Amino acid sequence: MPMNFRPRTHEEPEINLIPFIDVLLVILIFLMLSTTYSKFTEMQLVLPVADAEAQRDYAKEVSVVISADGSYSINKTPVAGRTLDALVAALTEGAKIGKDTVVVINADASARHQAVITLMEAARRAGLNQITFATQSSGNASAKATE
Protein backbone atom coordinates (compact mmCIF):
# COMPACT_ATOMS: atom_id res chain seq x y z
CA MET A 1 0.00 0.00 0.00
CA PRO A 2 1.63 3.19 -1.10
CA MET A 3 1.76 6.10 1.29
CA ASN A 4 0.37 9.34 0.15
CA PHE A 5 2.73 12.09 1.28
CA ARG A 6 1.15 14.90 -0.62
CA PRO A 7 0.84 18.01 1.41
CA ARG A 8 -2.68 18.84 2.23
CA THR A 9 -3.82 22.29 1.33
CA HIS A 10 -5.13 24.02 4.39
CA GLU A 11 -7.65 26.70 3.80
CA GLU A 12 -6.93 29.72 5.89
CA PRO A 13 -9.97 30.75 7.89
CA GLU A 14 -11.25 34.02 6.60
CA ILE A 15 -12.76 36.58 8.94
CA ASN A 16 -15.77 38.14 7.34
CA LEU A 17 -16.07 41.74 8.54
CA ILE A 18 -19.24 42.65 6.69
CA PRO A 19 -21.71 41.37 9.36
CA PHE A 20 -19.63 43.07 12.05
CA ILE A 21 -19.78 46.40 10.19
CA ASP A 22 -23.53 45.99 9.64
CA VAL A 23 -24.12 45.48 13.36
CA LEU A 24 -21.97 48.50 14.23
CA LEU A 25 -23.85 50.70 11.77
CA VAL A 26 -27.20 49.62 13.19
CA ILE A 27 -25.97 50.43 16.73
CA LEU A 28 -24.64 53.80 15.55
CA ILE A 29 -27.94 54.70 13.87
CA PHE A 30 -29.86 53.61 16.97
CA LEU A 31 -27.69 55.78 19.23
CA MET A 32 -27.97 58.77 16.91
CA LEU A 33 -31.75 58.55 16.83
CA SER A 34 -32.25 57.90 20.55
CA THR A 35 -29.85 60.55 21.87
CA THR A 36 -31.45 63.80 22.95
CA TYR A 37 -29.44 66.92 22.43
CA SER A 38 -30.42 69.49 25.03
CA LYS A 39 -29.30 73.05 24.66
CA PHE A 40 -28.46 74.76 27.92
CA THR A 41 -29.43 78.39 28.23
CA GLU A 42 -26.55 80.69 28.94
CA MET A 43 -26.69 84.08 30.53
CA GLN A 44 -24.39 86.81 29.31
CA LEU A 45 -22.80 88.61 32.25
CA VAL A 46 -20.87 91.82 32.35
CA LEU A 47 -19.14 91.88 35.70
CA PRO A 48 -18.83 95.29 37.40
CA VAL A 49 -15.47 96.81 38.19
CA ALA A 50 -15.18 98.49 41.58
CA ASP A 51 -14.23 102.11 41.02
CA ALA A 52 -15.15 104.59 43.75
CA GLU A 53 -15.07 107.57 41.40
CA ALA A 54 -17.46 106.00 38.88
CA GLN A 55 -20.34 105.37 41.30
CA ARG A 56 -23.62 106.86 40.18
CA ASP A 57 -26.56 108.19 42.12
CA TYR A 58 -29.85 107.03 40.64
CA ALA A 59 -32.85 109.32 40.86
CA LYS A 60 -35.21 106.44 41.58
CA GLU A 61 -33.52 103.76 43.64
CA VAL A 62 -34.38 101.22 46.29
CA SER A 63 -31.48 100.37 48.56
CA VAL A 64 -31.46 96.77 49.78
CA VAL A 65 -28.96 95.62 52.41
CA ILE A 66 -28.21 91.93 52.94
CA SER A 67 -26.36 91.27 56.18
CA ALA A 68 -23.90 88.44 56.80
CA ASP A 69 -26.58 86.35 58.55
CA GLY A 70 -28.97 86.72 55.57
CA SER A 71 -31.42 89.29 56.95
CA TYR A 72 -32.76 91.96 54.59
CA SER A 73 -33.31 95.68 55.00
CA ILE A 74 -35.07 97.75 52.32
CA ASN A 75 -34.55 101.52 52.45
CA LYS A 76 -33.18 101.15 56.01
CA THR A 77 -36.36 99.33 57.10
CA PRO A 78 -35.83 95.71 58.23
CA VAL A 79 -37.89 93.08 56.41
CA ALA A 80 -39.86 90.88 58.80
CA GLY A 81 -39.17 87.57 57.06
CA ARG A 82 -36.66 86.00 54.73
CA THR A 83 -39.20 84.35 52.43
CA LEU A 84 -39.65 85.24 48.79
CA ASP A 85 -43.20 86.49 49.33
CA ALA A 86 -42.13 88.80 52.17
CA LEU A 87 -39.38 90.26 49.97
CA VAL A 88 -41.75 90.79 47.04
CA ALA A 89 -44.21 92.63 49.30
CA ALA A 90 -41.44 94.78 50.83
CA LEU A 91 -39.94 95.61 47.42
CA THR A 92 -43.34 96.52 46.03
CA GLU A 93 -43.93 98.79 49.04
CA GLY A 94 -40.44 100.33 48.80
CA ALA A 95 -40.56 100.89 45.04
CA LYS A 96 -43.72 103.00 44.85
CA ILE A 97 -41.74 105.48 42.76
CA GLY A 98 -42.32 103.44 39.60
CA LYS A 99 -41.33 100.41 37.61
CA ASP A 100 -38.17 102.12 36.33
CA THR A 101 -36.76 102.07 39.87
CA VAL A 102 -33.22 100.74 40.21
CA VAL A 103 -32.60 98.13 42.92
CA VAL A 104 -29.20 98.70 44.54
CA ILE A 105 -27.99 95.57 46.33
CA ASN A 106 -25.56 96.11 49.22
CA ALA A 107 -24.61 92.56 50.15
CA ASP A 108 -22.13 91.73 52.87
CA ALA A 109 -19.06 89.93 51.53
CA SER A 110 -19.82 86.91 53.70
CA ALA A 111 -23.56 86.82 52.87
CA ARG A 112 -24.81 83.62 51.31
CA HIS A 113 -25.16 83.52 47.54
CA GLN A 114 -28.71 82.18 47.93
CA ALA A 115 -29.76 85.34 49.80
CA VAL A 116 -28.72 87.49 46.81
CA ILE A 117 -30.43 85.17 44.32
CA THR A 118 -33.64 85.21 46.41
CA LEU A 119 -33.58 89.01 46.38
CA MET A 120 -33.06 89.10 42.62
CA GLU A 121 -36.00 86.72 42.12
CA ALA A 122 -38.16 88.88 44.40
CA ALA A 123 -37.21 91.98 42.37
CA ARG A 124 -38.15 90.19 39.16
CA ARG A 125 -41.52 89.18 40.58
CA ALA A 126 -42.12 92.74 41.77
CA GLY A 127 -41.48 93.97 38.23
CA LEU A 128 -38.17 95.68 39.01
CA ASN A 129 -35.82 94.71 36.21
CA GLN A 130 -32.98 97.17 36.80
CA ILE A 131 -30.57 95.79 39.40
CA THR A 132 -27.11 96.98 40.33
CA PHE A 133 -24.61 95.99 43.00
CA ALA A 134 -22.92 98.44 45.33
CA THR A 135 -19.17 97.99 45.61
CA GLN A 136 -16.36 99.63 47.47
CA SER A 137 -12.89 100.32 46.27
CA SER A 138 -10.00 98.27 47.58
CA GLY A 139 -8.65 101.38 49.39
CA ASN A 140 -11.84 101.68 51.48
CA ALA A 141 -11.79 97.98 52.30
CA SER A 142 -8.21 98.09 53.59
CA ALA A 143 -8.97 101.22 55.64
CA LYS A 144 -11.96 99.50 57.27
CA ALA A 145 -9.91 96.38 57.95
CA THR A 146 -7.31 98.36 59.92
CA GLU A 147 -9.89 100.16 62.09
Please say if the pLDDT value at position 115 is more than 80: yes
Q: How many domains does the chain have?
A: 1
Domain that holds residue 115: 52-137
Residue 94 located in a structural domain: yes
CB atoms closer than 10 angstroms to residue 121: 13
Mean pLDDT, the chain, rounded, equals: 75
**pTM of this prediction?**
0.54
Q: What is the pLDDT of residue 126?
A: 85
Residue 42 located in a structural domain: no
CB atoms closer than 10 angstroms to residue 100: 12
C-alpha–C-alpha distance, residues 17 and 92, integer Å: 72
Residue 31 located in a structural domain: no
Q: What is the pLDDT of residue 43?
A: 41
Judged by average pLDDT, the poorest of 11-15, 48-52, 90-94 is 48-52
C-alpha–C-alpha distance, residues 67 and 97, integer Å: 25
Residue 8 located in a structural domain: no
